[in-house]
């Protein structure tokens, strides 16, 4: 393939679209399915509905123009005649279908007005004495301008050229009863006619299991390596002094939950090390991650180092800032605030306070990772809602200090199912907050058809007259931000008219940050009773008195999103309700999502269902994660292989690291630079 200075050809470009950069990649470009062209059916036996191959002689062919331009040919074998029809065609097809020529046509048979026909069959011109293919025909994932036949040829050539040496130690292969590498690959690319098609297509065939195991093994090895490599970097040890954290715990108006204490133990132990912590803190919505972050940050500060908390939106960052300030100011601990919307002067002041060391703690948005912000004494970086950030953004925060890396604490309210954590996040240490603070009343979830919307409006009115507050979440319109905004404004106007005895507010993504903050502040002060909102409130917003939530067109939202939104209520002592308004008819998937959210309040259970409904790529935001996605193995179906791969990865790294390197080269050559994120 083109290398060095040569200009990439069109073919190279197309192959790269498929993730193919070299011969190894071609070999690992495996068929999605197969077609059986190893046998022919007589036209007589080719009944409608069947997908078959016939071999016949062209009797007649012509281009007709009614009802539209098309090429129609009549072919005949010893048993009968069949019509072949092409609505678009090139001269080469016309040529193959000249009377007297022999062709093989592969396709689905349909019962047409003039008898059996095939529309757009795959044609093959039969030459004198030619025999049938000896292997099933693989159908590869393809892209525009790259035909199956071209891909097949490339694979054939690569199979001849590339070493198919088995990289796995014999003992491992034997103990796991794994098929050989060469045999498996040849089998998958060229299965013999008698191959078990169902086992091939469900990927349960031993040849597939071998490939999937190796893929999982390469992934585990790359993650383990990243894990080990982290320990080769230096970080400032931040032992617990108790000077700040101790005082903080005394002034905190509540006692930590058992889960919070356990998680803090993990973090505390990590911070004492001289290599960087890389811990993921998972905790369902409302489980109390912020106070954990605050304690970790104080531990950095009591060692004289800086700590930064980065959040994905201004609403959220500002809320964290207010919370930390509220807790820490009385203790005389300064917190500064950095956001994109900030006035130049304020920003300058904040930066000065950081530089002078007056303040060690900083909260902000992406503004924290801008070049002008120098966090030269950064000891700890906390990233809230970490999945909202790209790998590079998270790394940017880490690169702030040269020589030493800061400790990293990543927080996520999207619980990650075990299988997913095992495969995609094995390079992190994970702590889980699996207990909600006491005094919460469970949220009652109601599914209400949109035709009863007026009843819901009345309930909101009653609740607000009793002193409660409500969120009203606008329908999601993913295709257009403008339409989304328009809908939000309309919803706001309608509700303001319907609830003219209440104060209704509106918050959406296009508001200026200070406008947004103003609305939120008014809501916190209960000057607004009903807050109409887009999904900007999805993450982290915390207003304990808001105990009612209505979500319009709930069927349009994703499962994780619904769970996050619902988590905005149920934060105070009052019984909370979440009303999901839906419009009929529901799609199958929409029904499943609503059912899942109705049936469970447990973030982990919901995440599991979400994973089933969406698949891992969508779930973790494939483009963001930087971890290579699995192409063949399925983390739910192949969990046994994953367990084995995990064990094997440790053994290989310990006993024969060169095997690990070879596996990484085979599976990720040149593409693992983001693995260390
Ligand atoms: P999340 O994990 O979703 O970020 P927060 O940190 O916002 O949750 O906490 C939710 C609410 O619970 C906040 O008002 C917080 O002050 C409160 N909280 C946290 N920990 C406790 C606790 N141990 N006891 C009582 N309330 C708590
Ligand atoms: Mg939070």
* Tens of pLDDT, residues 131-160: 998 889 999 988 888 888 899 999 999 999
User: In whole numbers, what is the pLDDT of the chain averaged over residues?
Assistant: 88
Q: Check residue 66 and give its pLDDT.
A: 80
**Which burial class, exposed, middle or buried, applies to 93 when counting CB atoms under 10 A from its CB (0-12, 13-18, 19+)?**
middle
Q: Please, where in the chain does CATH 2.40.50.140 lie?
A: 39-132
**Which burial class, exposed, middle or buried, applies to 286 when counting CB atoms under 10 A from its CB (0-12, 13-18, 19+)?**
buried
Q: Which atom of ligand 1 is nearest to the CA of 544?
A: 14
CATH of domain 443-600: 3.40.50.300
Q: How confident is the model at residue 215 (pLDDT cuts 50, 70, 90)?
A: very high
Instruction: Give pLDDT tens digits for 537-561.
Output: 765 567 888 999 999 999 988 888 8
Reference 336, options 312, 365, 301, 360; nearest CA is 360
**Most informative mutation of 284, 285, 286, 323 for ligand 1 (most atoms within 8 A of CB):** 286
Cis amide linkage into residue 48, ω under 30° from 0:
no
Reference 309, options 391, 248, 367, 236; nearest CA is 367
Reference 314, options 353, 370, 368; nearest CA is 368
User: What is the sign, positive or negative, of the torsion defined by CA atoms of 13, 15, 18, 20?
Assistant: negative
Residue with the nearest Cα to atom 4 of ligand 1? Answer: 289
Residue 73 pLDDT > 80, yes or no? Answer: yes
User: CA–CA distance from 565 to each of 107, 254, 557 (Å)?
Assistant: 49, 25, 10
In three-state form (DSSP H/G/I as H, E/B as E, the rest C), the secondary structure along 306-334 is EEEEECCCHHHHHHHHHHHHHHHHHHCCC
**What average pLDDT score do residues 93-117 get?**
91
Identify the DSSP state of 404.
B
Find residue 111's DSSP bridge partners. 116
Q: Check residue 626 and give its pLDDT.
A: 46
Instruction: Give pLDDT tens digits for 391-419.
Output: 677 777 776 566 789 999 999 887 777 77
CB 507 within 8 A of CB 526: no
More confident residue, 4 or 417: 417
**What average pLDDT score do residues 519-537 get?**
90
Q: Which atom of ligand 1 is nearest to the CA of 287?
A: 2
What is the rounded radius of gyration, in angstroms, for the C-alpha atoms of the chain?
31
Q: How confident is the model at residue 617 (pLDDT cuts 50, 70, 90)?
A: low
Whose atoms come closest to the Cα of 294: which ligand? 1
Whole-angstrom distance, CA of residue 308 vs CA of residue 401 = 13
Residue 500 pLDDT > 90, yes or no? Answer: yes
Residue 469 pLDDT > 70, yes or no? Answer: yes
Q: Check residue 154 and give its pLDDT.
A: 94
Per the listing, tokens 């800061």 go with: 406
Main-chain dihedrals φ then ψ at residue 385, nearest 5 degrees? 50, 55
Region at 167 (left for phi over 0; alpha for psi -120 to 50; beta for the rest): alpha
Q: How confident is the model at residue 270 (pLDDT cuts 50, 70, 90)?
A: very high
In angstroms, what is the span from residue 540 Cα to ligand 2's centroid? 4
Q: Check residue 673 and give its pLDDT.
A: 43
38: its two tokens: 């190893």
Q: Which atom of ligand 1 is nearest to the CA of 292?
A: 6
DSSP string of 343-379, one letter each residue: -HHHHHHHHHHHHTTS--EEEESGGGGSTT---TTEE
Q: Check residue 3 and give its pLDDT.
A: 42
Whole-angstrom distance, CA of residue 623 vs CA of residue 616 = 12
Whose atoms come closest to the Cα of 436: which ligand? 1
User: What is the sign, positive or negative, of the torsion defined by CA atoms of 193, 199, 202, 203?
Assistant: negative
Whole-angstrom distance, CA of residue 147 vs CA of residue 92 = 15
DSSP-derived 3-state class of residue 422: helix
500: its two tokens: 């003219």
Cis amide linkage into residue 67, ω under 30° from 0:
yes
Instruction: Give pLDDT tens digits for 232-257.
Output: 889 999 999 999 999 999 999 999 99
CB 34 within 8 A of CB 197: yes
In angstroms, what is the span from residue 286 Cα to ligand 1's centroid? 6
518: its two tokens: 């103003």
DSSP string of 18-62, one letter each residue: TT--SHHHHHT---SEEE--SS---GGG--TT-EEEEEEEEEEEE
More confident residue, 671 or 159: 159
Find residue 53's DSSP bridge partners. 106
Q: Check residue 622 and give its pLDDT.
A: 41
**What average pLDDT score do residues 207-222 get?**
94
**Strand locations in 149-244, DSSP E?**
none
Residue 349 pLDDT > 50, yes or no? Answer: yes
Specify the CATH architecture of the domain 39-132: Beta Barrel (2.40)
What crossing angle do the helices spanning 657-668 and 639-655 adopt, rounded to 10°? 130
Q: How confident is the model at residue 522 (pLDDT cuts 50, 70, 90)?
A: very high
Q: Check residue 324 and give its pLDDT.
A: 95
Q: Check residue 529 and give its pLDDT.
A: 97
Whole-angstrom distance, CA of residue 497 vs CA of residue 500 = 5
Residue with the nearest Cα to atom 20 of ligand 1? Answer: 288
Q: Check residue 342 and give its pLDDT.
A: 84
In angstroms, what is the span from residue 636 Cα to ligand 2's centroid? 29
Region at 84 (left for phi over 0; alpha for psi -120 to 50; beta for the rest): beta
Domain 243-433 has CATH 3.30.1180.10: no
Per the listing, tokens 């093959």 go with: 124
**What average pLDDT score do residues 616-623 get?**
52
Region at 631 (left for phi over 0; alpha for psi -120 to 50; beta for the rest): alpha
In angstroms, what is the span from residue 609 Cα to ligand 1's centroid? 26
Q: Please, where in the chain does CATH 3.40.50.300 lie?
A: 243-433, 443-600
Q: Check residue 296 and give its pLDDT.
A: 98
CB 562 within 8 A of CB 554: yes
Protein residues whose CB sits closer than 6 Å to any atom of ligand 1: 254, 256-257, 260, 283, 285-291, 413, 437, 540, 542, 571
Residue 278 pLDDT > 80, yes or no? Answer: yes
Range from 29-33, 194-198, 368-372, 441-445 that averages highest in pLDDT: 29-33
Residue 670 pLDDT > 60, yes or no? Answer: no
Whole-angstrom distance, CA of residue 527 vs CA of residue 525 = 5
Residue 78: Cβ within 10 Å count: 9
In angstroms, what is the span from residue 125 Cα to ligand 2's centroid? 65
DSSP-derived 3-state class of residue 488: helix
DSSP string of 96-111, one letter each residue: HTSTT-EEEEEEEEEE
Residue 204: Cβ within 10 Å count: 14
Reference 86, options 123, 114, 113; nearest CA is 123
Per the listing, tokens 């990772």 go with: 369
């Amino acid at each position: 393939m083109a290398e060095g200075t040569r200009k990439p050809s069109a073919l190279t470009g197309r192959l790269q679209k498929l993730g193919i950069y070299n011969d190894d990649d071609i070999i690992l470009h495996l068929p999605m399915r197969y077609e059986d062209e190893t046998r022919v059916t007589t036209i007589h036996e080719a009944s409608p509905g069947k997908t078959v191959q016939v071999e016949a002689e062209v009797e007649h062919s012509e281009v007709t123009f009614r009802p539209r331009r098309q090429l129609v040919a009549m072919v005949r074998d010893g048993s009968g005649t069949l019509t072949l029809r092409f609505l678009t065609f090139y001269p080469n097809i016309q040529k193959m279908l000249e009377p007297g020529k022999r062709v093989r046509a592969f396709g689905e048979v349909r019962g047409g007005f003039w008898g059996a026909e095939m529309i757009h069959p795959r044609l093959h011109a039969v030459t004198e004495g030619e025999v049938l293919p000896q292997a099933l025909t693989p159908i590869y994932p393809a892209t525009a301008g790259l035909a199956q036949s071209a891909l097949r040829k490339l694979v054939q050539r690569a199979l001849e050229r590339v070493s198919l040496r088995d990289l796995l130690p014999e003992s491992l292969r034997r103990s796991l009863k794994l098929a050989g590498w060469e045999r498996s690959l040849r089998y998958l690319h060229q299965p013999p006619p008698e191959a078990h098609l169902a086992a091939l297509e469900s990927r349960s065939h031993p040849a597939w299991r071998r490939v999937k195991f190796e893929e999982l093994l390469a992934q585990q090895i790359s993650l383990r390596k990243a894990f080990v490599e982290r320990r080769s970097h230096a970080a400032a040890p931040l032992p617990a002094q108790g000077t700040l954290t101790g005082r903080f715990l005394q002034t905190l108006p509540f006692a930590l939950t058992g889960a919070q204490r356990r998680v803090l133990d993990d973090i505390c132990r990590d911070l004492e090390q001289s290599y960087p912590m890389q811990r993921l803190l998972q905790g369902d919505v409302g489980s109390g991650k912020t106070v954990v972050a605050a304690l970790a940050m104080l531990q950095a500060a009591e060692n004289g180092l800086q700590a930064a908390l980065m959040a994905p939106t201004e609403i959220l960052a500002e809320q964290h800032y207010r919370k930390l300030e509220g807790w820490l100011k009385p203790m005389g601990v300064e917190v500064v605030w950095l956001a994109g919307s900030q006035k130049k002067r304020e920003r300058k002041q904040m930066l000065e306070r950081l530089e002078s060391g007056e303040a060690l703690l900083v909260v902000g948005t992406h503004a924290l990772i801008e070049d002008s912000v120098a966090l030269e004494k950064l000891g700890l970086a906390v990233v809230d809602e970490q999945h909202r950030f790209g790998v590079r953004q998270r790394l940017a925060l880490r690169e702030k200090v040269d020589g030493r890396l800061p400790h990293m604490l990543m927080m996520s309210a999207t619980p990650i199912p075990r299988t997913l954590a095992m495969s995609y996040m094995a390079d992190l240490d994970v702590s889980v907050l699996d207990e909600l603070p006491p005094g919460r009343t469970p949220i009652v979830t109601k599914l209400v058809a949109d035709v009863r919307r007026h009843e819901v409006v009345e309930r909101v009115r009653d609740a607000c007259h009793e002193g409660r507050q409500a969120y009203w979440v606008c329908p999601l319109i993913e295709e257009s931000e403008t339409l989304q905004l328009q809908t939000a404004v309309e919803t706001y106007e309608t509700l303001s008219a319907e609830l003219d005895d209440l104060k209704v507010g509106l918050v959406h993504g296009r508001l200026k940050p200070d406008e947004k903050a103003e609305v939120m502040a008014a809501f916190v002060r209960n000057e607004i009773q009903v807050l109409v909102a887009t999904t900007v409130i999805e993450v982290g917003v915390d207003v304990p008195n808001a105990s009612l939530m209505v979500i319009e067109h709930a069927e349009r939202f994703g499962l994780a999103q619904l769970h996050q939104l619902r988590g905005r209520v149920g934060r105070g002592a009052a019984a909370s309700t979440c009303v999901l308004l839906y419009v009929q008819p529901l799609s199958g998937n929409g029904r499943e999502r609503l059912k899942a959210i109705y049936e469970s309040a447990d973030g982990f259970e919901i995440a599991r269902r979400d994973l089933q409904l969406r698949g891992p790529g969508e779930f973790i935001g494939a483009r963001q994660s930087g971890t290579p996605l699995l192409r063949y193995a399925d983390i739910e179906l192949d969990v046994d292989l994953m367990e084995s791969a995990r064990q094997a990865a440790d053994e290989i790294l310990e006993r024969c690291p060169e095997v690990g390197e070879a596996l990484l080269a085979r599976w990720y050559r040149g593409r693992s630079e983001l693995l260390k994120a």
